[in-house]
Structure 1
Amino acid sequence: MQQMQNNSEETELVFGTHAVVELLKSPTANQRVNKVLVQKDLKSEHIGEVIKLAKRDRLIVQEVPKNKLDTITNNGTHQGMAAYIAPYQYAEMDAIFENAEKKGTDPFILILDKIEDPHNLGSIMRTADAVGVDGIIIPKHRSTGLTSTVAKTSTGAIEHIPVVRVTNLVNMIKDLKKKNVWVFGTAMEGHNYRQWNAKGAIALVIGNEGKGVSPLVQKQVDETLSIPMVGHVQSLNASVATGVLLYQAYASRNE
């Protein structure tokens, strides 16, 4: 995670076209963005859009040489733009249900049980936003949080989907069930995901990259799903498995 000190306040660096443009389009941009950096002498449609959005909110825009952007992004794919921002804020649980209410749909929730790779979290957020997930829940401990790497990988989805961080996933799932949310998990012996009826208020639990869903959390799920595999490798990357399941849920919910 890229972190720097700026005017005695902790800041993070976001870079790349999609991440910066979506950041500046968000309604809280003028509260969160400390400075926008654009590559000197680089002209493009996206650079122009970034400058226009930044000036709309009276944000500081600084032109810097390419080697400056290369250095602060550790030679990342910055595409000529970056922004220093305040750390990402986590949402309250009510935001998830409010999202569903605004859309007039049943809540569609994703629970991530100790996802450790920020690239996986960013990719998962991107897919979750695409299929209409109302919010993501992650644990506070032994899990990646909302970092600049997550923001970059999510290609802007981080600006649109609320992420709630909780101390105890088991207690949180119990609370969801009291609100009539049906909780699904994943297991090798679960039902074939292609027959998944994902209608209604649901939550899908995705486990850790190596260990899967933790035993205590697994005990709380109402039903388990499996993804059949016929190859030699009997597991999928966490973000890939999540994508497969989320699109099946999307298909089921939009028949």
Structure 2
Amino acid sequence: MAGNSRRKGAMRKPGTKKGAVVGSGGQRRKGLEGKGPTPKAHERPNHKAYRKPASAQKRPQQRKDSGPTSELVAGRNPVVECLRAEVPATALYVALGVDADERVTEAVRMAADRGISVLEVSRPELDKLTHNAVHQGLALQIPPYEYAHPDDLLEAAKNSGEDALLVALDGVTDPRNLGAVIRSAAAFGAHGVVVPQRRSASITAVAWRTSAGTAANLPVAVATNLTRTLKDWADTGVMVAGLDADGSITIDELELANGPIVVVVGSEGRGLSRLVKERCDETVSIPMAAGVESLNASVATSVVLAEIARRRRVAGRI
């Protein structure tokens, strides 16, 4: 049939849009010609790498490490609790037209008594300051905490005339645990707490509140490398005791309590890291009733510090 035959010279029906019957019209030859090397990604206008430098120029440059910044505690109860605990604060923000109940009145009174600036702001502005948190018309500005150096803790122990009693936290990331440890350390006569620079809770408003203000009186240091800090302390004669569920001794056998000692506490789930555990002179366990796997990090710290304080009282060292 004309137009459907494959033989050379066959005729097509008029009006069809198909190409030539014989040959490719040079298309195959052109397709075999080289097009040169593929342009790099940043040279192709439709590639995201081409558009990235232009968009980066439009955005202002931001510092990756802007350092510590102030923190805002939002909500009536949290603000009142922080003021009662005498957490350092620089300003109290009160929303205009707020319903002044007893908590608002108490917060304003305590702030005024402590010389903290009381600033009235609009509710939209307070929403912006607190990043739309539930502030209930109150927010308290907390300045960044000033950490000590690990050597400062040994110096504080030396100046006290007592054997050093220090606490080191290894992998404790809950600021409430950190605050509770600080409170227990202060209650049982410790000279300071050290936390690692990475993978650790920091002194936030939550930690301030949990410590009941004792963070203002007990130095907290940051160790760039906790293992190295423990080694440096050990070189000065401080014994290292790590809390561990499978410890080599129990707190009933903790004879190291009557000398310079640092108690190392790991996270509740993971416990002590391998390198820190290898640095310990002793690993200490707390005897517990059957069926209880472990204690909260702050509770375990309180138990051991209480035992150390008891032994030192009996020995007449405090």
Query: TM-score, normalization: structure 1?
Result: 0.78
CA distance in 1, matches of 2:298, 2:171: 13
User: What residue is the counterpart of 1:5 in the other structure?
Assistant: none
Query: What is the CA distance between 1:136 and its match in structure 2?
Result: 0.8
> What's the CA shift string for 1:17-47, capped at 9, x where partnerless?
45334546xxxx5xxx431246964556675
What secondary structure, in the 3-state scheme, does the structure 1 residue paired with 2:70 have? strand
Mark the CA change 1:101 to 1:37 in structure 2 (over 3 Å): closer, same or farther.
farther
TM-aligned CA deviation for residue 65 of structure 1:
9.9
Q: Percent identity?
A: 34
Task: Decide whether aligned partners of structure 1 residues 65 and 243 sit closer, same or farther in structure 2, where only a CA change above 3 A counts.
Answer: farther
Match of 1:20 in 2: 83
Residue in 2 aligned with 1:88? 145
SS of the equivalent of 2:279 reads: coil
Out of 48, 54, 59, which is 2:109 matched to? 48
Moved over 6 A (4+): none
| Partner SS for 1:125 | helix
Amino acid at match of 1:155: A
Which residue of 2 is the match for residue 173 of structure 1? Answer: 230
Report deviation, 1:144.
1.5
Q: Which has the higher strand share?
A: 1
Contact 2:175/2:202, CA 8 A, preserved across alignment: yes
Equivalent of 2:300, from 226, 241, 250?
241
Deviations 1:107-152 (A, max 9, x none): 1100101101112111111111111211111111111222222112
CA 1:94–1:210 in 2, change beyond 3 Å: closer, same or farther?
A: same
3-state SS, counterpart of residue 180 of structure 1: coil
- Confirm or deny: 8 A CA contact 1:135 1:162 kept in the other structure: yes
Question: Kindly tell me: are residues 22 and 235 of structure 1, through their superposed partners in 2, closer, same or farther at Cα, counting changes over 3 Å?
Answer: closer
Q: 1:213 to 1:62 in 2, by over 3 A?
A: same
Amino acid at match of 1:184: A
5+ unaligned residues in a row in structure 2: which ranges? 1-67
Q: Aligned letter for 2:250?
A: N
How many angstroms apart in 2 are the aligned matches of 1:104 and 1:21? 32
- Deviation track 1:61-107 (CA, whole Å, cap 9, x = no partner) reads 235799x79x949558x9x9753132112111233123323432121
1:189 to 223, 247, 254: 247
Task: Specify the alignment match of 2:274 in structure 1.
Answer: 215
Q: What are the ranges of 5 or more consecutive residues in structure 1 without an aligned counterpart? A: 1-8
> Given the superposition, is the C-alpha separation of residues 81 and 201 from structure 1 closer, same or farther in structure 2, using an over 3 Å criterion?
farther
Q: Is the 8 A contact 1:116 1:209 kept in 2?
A: no
TM-score (norm 2): 0.64
What's the secondary structure of 1:219's corresponding residue?
helix
Q: In angstroms, what is the RMSD of aligned CA positions?
A: 3.0
CA contact (8 A) 1:18 1:156 kept: no
Quick one: distance in 2 between partners of 1:108 and 1:131? 9
Contact 1:100 1:107 in 2 (8 A): yes
Q: 1:231 to 1:63 in 2, by over 3 A?
A: farther
1:254 alignment partner in structure 2: 313
**Other-structure match for 1:4:** none
* Amino acid paired to 1:20: L
Alpha-carbon distance in structure 2 between the residues aligned to 1:101 and 1:38: 45
* Aligned residues of 1:93 and 1:164 also touching (Cα < 8 A): yes
The structural deviation recorded for 1:155 is: 1.8
1:238 Cα deviation from its structure 2 partner: 1.2
Within 2, Cα distance between the matches of 1:16 and 1:249? 35
Letter in 1 for 2:83: V
The CA deviation string for residues 209-245 of structure 1, in whole angstroms up to 9 with x for no partner, is 2110111111111112111122213211111111111
In the TM superposition, residue 10 of structure 1 has moved relative to its aligned partner by: 2.9
Q: Which has the larger radius of gyration?
A: 2
Partner residue, 2:259? 200
Say whether the 8 Å CA contact 1:47–1:81 is kept in structure 2: no
Alignment counterpart, residue 287 of structure 2, candidates 223, 228, 248: 228
Aligned to 1:6: none
Query: Is the alpha carbon distance of 1:38 and 1:127 closer, same or farther for their aligned partners in structure 2, counting shifts above 3 Å?
Result: farther
Distance 1:38 1:125, change over 3 A: farther
Q: 1:221 to 1:117 in 2, by over 3 A?
A: same
**Count of residues in correspondence between the two structures:** 233
- State the partner residue of 2:39: none
Secondary structure of 2:283 counterpart: strand
Q: Aligned residue for 1:121?
A: 178
* 1:203 shift after superposition: 0.2
